[in-house]
Amino acid sequence: MTTKNIPNHVGLIMDGNGRWATAKGRERTYGHYMGYKRLKKTATHILNKGVKILSVFAFSTENFQRPKEEVDYLMDLFLTSFKKEIKYFVQNNVKVVFSGRKEPLSDTVYDSMKELEMETISCDGGILNICLNYGGQAEIVDASKLIAESFKNGKIKLEDITVESFYNYLYNELPAIDLLIRTSGELRLSNFMLYSISYSELYFTNTCFPDFDEKEFDEALESYQNRNITKGTIKQK
């Protein structure tokens, strides 16, 4: 594996926590806890590889439709882990940002998200973008509303609205995703960062996320580096 052609922005759909736990005869919540433990190690490894931005799908807007017991557990896990891991991310120089809507998150969970963002705002060793209460279609709708409001107020002109400028109205103004990874064998995008993945290279693995370790990511990275990436153009020899 070469150190050249490192993707600037990696997206990670962390799937399979519940199935992983069920296969081991444990409660689904155990899988979510082990997924959280895995994310700490894997995220640090990915950013240490030279990736500048890692966006992870932690909780979708649709996930609120899961059993209340599971949702409540996840909200408690978010609350405790965001507070607990401030020191870890600061020590590893990782800036944490969140993408998603505030409602219907509780004030305590939302405040813990804002605290983690503020405590890591000066870190410059890489960005971990946690998509929580997130939906790709919702992000596009919210961005469109911001653009419409700016146009209505005379802040922008119609010709100012371009494919490139649209990124400025997304939740965190992050660039396009170069490599999108999904774990657990599912072959779908699940409404994840739809505007940002138009030319992403896709990588699917049967490994459930709690087992998606450093070696698994390195295999995904090697696959990416071995591809002829043209983004709709013809690559010159």
Any domain includes 172: yes
The per-residue pLDDT for 235 is 56
Burial 47-73 (b: 16+ CB within 10 A, else e): bebebbbbbbbbbbbebeeeeeeeeeb
The per-residue pLDDT for 224 is 98
- Mean local confidence (pLDDT), 152-178: 97
Any domain includes 3: no
Any domain includes 1: no
Any domain includes 233: no
- Mean local confidence (pLDDT), 207-223: 98
In this prediction, residue 3 has a pLDDT band, given cuts at 50, 70 and 90, of: confident
Q: Where does residue 87 rank: exposed (0-12), middle (13-18), buried (19+ CB within 10 A)?
A: exposed
Contact present, 34 and 215 (Cβ < 8 Å): no
The per-residue pLDDT for 231 is 74
pTM beyond 0.85? yes
- Mean local confidence (pLDDT), 205-230: 96
Any domain includes 35: yes
The per-residue pLDDT for 59 is 98
Any domain includes 235: no
Residue 195 is which amino acid?
Answer: Y
- Mean local confidence (pLDDT), 150-175: 97
Contact present, 220 and 205 (Cβ < 8 Å): yes
**How far apart (Å, rounded) are the C-alpha atoms in residues 227 and 66?**
38
In this prediction, residue 2 has a pLDDT band, given cuts at 50, 70 and 90, of: low
Any domain includes 237: no
The per-residue pLDDT for 237 is 46
Residue 236 has pLDDT above 60, yes or no: no
- pLDDT digit string (tens) for 21-31? 999 999 999 99
- Mean local confidence (pLDDT), 210-230: 96
The per-residue pLDDT for 230 is 80
The per-residue pLDDT for 1 is 60
Any domain includes 78: yes
Full domain range(s) for residue 58: 9-225
Q: Could you give the number of structural domains in the chain?
A: 1
- pLDDT digit string (tens) for 80-130? 999 999 999 999 999 999 999 999 999 999 999 999 999 999 999 999 999
The catalytic site residues sit at: 15, 63
Residue 24 belongs to domain with CATH number = 3.40.1180.10
